[in-house]
Amino acid sequence: MTGRRLLWCCALAGTLTACKNDLDRVAAIEVGSHAPDRITTGAEYLFSDSGQVRNRLRAGTIMEYSGEEPHTELRDGVELTFYGPDGKAGGTLSARRGKIDGQAKRMMVEEKVVFVNTKGEKLETEQLFWSQDSGRVYTHRPVKITRERDIIYGEGLDAAQDLSQYTVRRITGSLFIGRNDTLAPGNPAP
């Protein structure tokens, strides 16, 4: 019985003394220079100006990087909602992934980009940029805009950030032009 007790005490003492954290060794562990500083999953960020919400960003994963070229990567689905001065949603942009350059105040989204405005018009493309400073979205890639009466195809687009007004470059397809539509600023439709 005493032998068992002694063996058990030795095992317990060995276990207790074997577990220790060497803080110098823990501090010496390096994280690669390309690793993110912070990772957030299931994120929702609200951006405001003068106490009023201007944008809501949702993403499956947000990875923030500092260093020489600070940026934020958005993965596993991105949704950006724009709000007007009245606080109502003005348009919703979604994509599979994106990247934010905070210094340039520009966001790029790509892969299955869809933007729906308050009129129900739907923009589809593979890459889209949003410039926070100018309040514009743009792309040089092929675009498809589905409207109530027609579908517009083109190569490139420049638009207001809520997609309320837009210019499509190199348009193809048939267009329905109503009495209230304009072909260009100052030129009413027939």
Distance of CA 15 to the CA centre of its chain: 49
Give the per-residue pLDDT at 182: 65
| Stretch 13-33: mean pLDDT | 60
Please state, rounded to an integer, the average pLDDT across all residues of the chain.
84
Q: Is residue 9 part of a domain?
A: no
Q: Is residue 29 part of a domain?
A: no
Domain count, the chain: 1
Give the per-residue pLDDT at 32: 63
Give the per-residue pLDDT at 189: 46
| Stretch 78-90: mean pLDDT | 89
Asked if 73 and 67 count as a contact pair (C-beta separation under 8 A), the reply is: no
The domain containing residue 112 runs over which residues? 38-176
Q: Is residue 27 part of a domain?
A: no
> Residue 6 above 70 pLDDT?
no
Q: Is residue 24 part of a domain?
A: no
CA end-to-end distance (rounded Å), the chain:
107
| 27 SS3 class | helix
Q: Is residue 81 part of a domain?
A: yes
Q: How far apart are CA 122 and CA 110, in angstroms?
A: 16
Q: Is residue 6 part of a domain?
A: no
- Nearest CA-CA partner of 127 in 148, 105, 145, 109: 109
Instruction: Find tokens 């100006």 and name the residue.
Output: 49
Q: Is residue 23 part of a domain?
A: no
Which residues in 18-174 belong to E strands, given as ranges? 38-49, 52-65, 71-83, 89-95, 97-101, 106-117, 122-131, 136-146, 151-160, 166-168
Interval 129-179: pLDDT, tens: 999 889 899 999 999 999 988 899 999 999 998 888 999 999 987 777 777
* pTM value > 0.85: no
CATH number of the domain bearing residue 149: 2.60.450.10
Q: Is residue 183 part of a domain?
A: no
Taking residue 42's Cβ as centre, other Cβ atoms within 10 Å add up to: 10
